[in-house]
Structure 1
Amino acid sequence: MLWFILSLASAFLMATNAAFLKRFFSDLSPWEMGTIPFFYASPLCFATLLIMDAPPLLDGFFPAMAWVLPLSGLAFLLHFRAVYLSPLSLTMPFLGFTPVFVIVTGNMLLGEQINTTGTVGILLVVAGGYVLNLDSAKYGLLGPIRAIIREPGSALMLLVAALYGLTSVGGKMLILTSSALFGPMLMFALIGPMFAVILTIARKISLRTITRRPLLGMGAGVLLFLEILCHNLAISMIAAAYMVTIKRLAGIFSVLYGRYLFGDRDILFRLAGTLIMTAGAAIIVLLG
């Protein structure tokens, strides 16, 4: 039962961090807002590495890290840019598409196949995306589909879900070639400095700006660190499919945050769509 609590905590922390950043850092650029949690979580990840026993690193660890690290960094930045651009209730639920993309990447990289049940899950996820924008149906049956394309955060989060479909497979490679905590902690320890250096050189962020509110920044960093910890501890206790299914509930938490913290409207359609997408994701990862 502890794995379920940790998985649910990971979903809650993911949604809470997105709401926290939107509430306190939406005045910054999306690049700066996306950098802050990783910048402040990095020292916590380094400290964890120092106090834990390093596992033997198997062949494939460093090649996997070489592509998972930059691709994860890109996905995280686009994730927070989507949150910056659009309401939480119209962005976070689209992470429910991640299992759909995992099926594709799993087939490409691991030779995994889907069955009829998995196809049903895919259709449910797509239907949930339609219901999410059902308030646009007054413009015709294709209204919700056009709304997904028209809403920049929703469209961007679909791209993020596709990237997570790749990085989740890569993350599994890191765990298999090290341990449940070492690989992820090393990756997140490196992402913070990587963001700071690259984006400062590219003049996308200012270090003065992201360190201007250190207490709030530390809050975002702690939320991210706890999410990393809960996520990977849960995976170490139970099959990843069960853990991922529970974490998809982050979309529902985000819909509730959007309604009660930011006054998002049409919440019934978005909550119903999120529930359908979550059901589809559950079918894909558990029965697909």
Structure 2
Amino acid sequence: MPDPIIAATTDMSWLQTIVLAIVQGLTEFLPVSSSGHLRIISSLFWGQDAGASYTAVIQLGTEAAVLVFFAKDIWNIARGWLRGLVDKAQRATLEYRMGWMVIVGTLPVSIIGFLAKDYIREALRNLWFTAGMLILFSFVFIAAERWGRRERQTEELTMRDAVIMGFAQCLALIPGVSRSGATVSAGLFLNQDRAAATRFSFFLAIPAVLASGLFSLPDAFAPQAGQAASGAQLLVGAGIAFVLGYASIAWLLRFVSHHSFAWFAAWRIPVGLGVMGLLAAGVLTA
């Protein structure tokens, strides 16, 4: 196998930190799998997996971008939910229902992510598996766009939608699937409008990503699997991911208003095939 461009080390370099943060910021909200891209790029150029813990921590930067971008919506949902807890008259509001939908929809990934954390950090990060998921789930996006009627708006979301999209979010634990791709595809299969499914996907990810990042913070400094990063590297990485993530949110919301999610398959499939080719040639190791 050829030597990687930069030799593998136990600790992350600053160049690796910056490059992976840029990748995280650009890909977190697109249905291309940020974790899959981080896994591929880290192995291709640094000869080793940066690790799931580092990924989870710098995701705090992109999730902070969600909190800022949707601050007004999040405030209205939180306030409406709290009011509904004490005032029955408020329980018919969309904000109260949305609060419960986010909570219930978050439970599957929280439970499965916690119980399978060791498996996620190691076994599921095999590059053959990642490449396969990039290709396979491209066809899921295409099918969702083909058969979803895209007629239901945000006001029509139900607890059934939240549960199904919540279980779909669990698939994002597998590098190569994509959190937004899995949840939005589920929404499209439920006949949701593309923009409505995308916005709910953002809200649904907030508790899970924040909890995952904070839970993984200690392990990022001394990981059981992957590379260690300093506090400064994690902070800078999260900061870069925040700035680029904010721009990515704005771009994606404009894009889905007029374009199909199936367009992203045109990126995912060649990347997946390319990774398989590099694995077969011995340039990458699984």
TM-score (norm 2): 0.45
Considering Cα pairs closer than 8 Å and 6+ residues apart, tell me whether 1 or 2 has the greater RCO: 1
